[in-house]
Amino acid sequence: MELANRLEVKIPPRHETVDLSNCLEVLKSTEDSELKTEAMDLTLGNFEMLHKTKDFLNLPVSNVNEILKSDYLNVPSEEDVFNAVKLWVNHDNANRKSDLAQLIRFVRLSLLSMEFIVYKVMTFCNSCAECMTTIRQEIINKIDKSFIPRETPRRKIKGYKMALVGGSNIDLDSMEKVI
């Protein structure tokens, strides 16, 4: 470590635990499948908060794709997924414009209102021909009342439930994770 510091060689940090403060860094840098799964679960469950952080904005496109394609991305609405894509692309627009078509595929357009698609999505994506083709097809599908959307809303990650129990001798070790 001392030699690496003198030579100014950066050594990726070794993460023993994953928490909200380091889950995006772990997701980006670890090869350990168990830690990566734990980091992904934390990221998906707390996406609404994490997508606005500098760590998210600095993720490579491969990690962003991996997050956005998950059925377990915990978001109030699909608009939040689009807004996260917009934030990520705008963080380094010159270098990330070319990633927009790849990312827009993971936004479930069929779950968005026509107004949102026209006024927000099309406005943002208007310089990307591939995106506009995808968006136009979705508009045609929305107009065609016989079309059945293939996309389903994202499923929420199951979490912990807690019950308050009265009394003086509560054994906290016996409380279990309820799924």
Task: Give per-residue pLDDT as tens, 107-150.
Answer: 999 999 999 999 999 999 999 999 999 999 989 988 887 767 66
- Show the tokens assigned to 110: 């069929």
Rounded mean pLDDT, 9-25: 73
- Please tell me the distance from the alpha carbon of residue 60 to that of residue 40, in angstroms, as a whole number: 14
* Mean pLDDT of the 46-75 span: 95
Structure letter (DSSP) for residue 78: H
The pTM score is: 0.76
DSSP characters over 125-142: HTT-HHHHHHHHHHHHHH
Structure-token match 């949102």, residue found: 116
Q: For 2-174, CATH number?
A: 1.25.40.420
| Residue 72 contacts residue 40 (beta carbons within 8 Å) | no
Percent of the chain at pLDDT > 90 equals 59
Quote the mean pLDDT of the chain: 83
Show me where the domains of the chain are located: 2-174
User: Six-digit token pair at 121?
Assistant: 């999505």
> Mapping DSSP to helix (H, G, I), strand (E, B) and coil, where does residue 10 land?
coil
pLDDT value at residue 178: 39
The identity of residue 157, as a single letter, is I
How deeply is 43 buried, as exposed, middle or buried, from its count of CB atoms within 10 A (0-12, 13-18, 19+)? buried
Is there a contact between 178 and 161 (Cβ–Cβ < 8 Å)?
A: yes
Q: Which of 47, 149, 61 is nearest to 103 (CA)?
A: 61
| Mean pLDDT across 82-101 | 96
In the chain, the percentage of residues whose pLDDT exceeds 70 is: 75
Q: Residue 145: what pLDDT?
A: 72
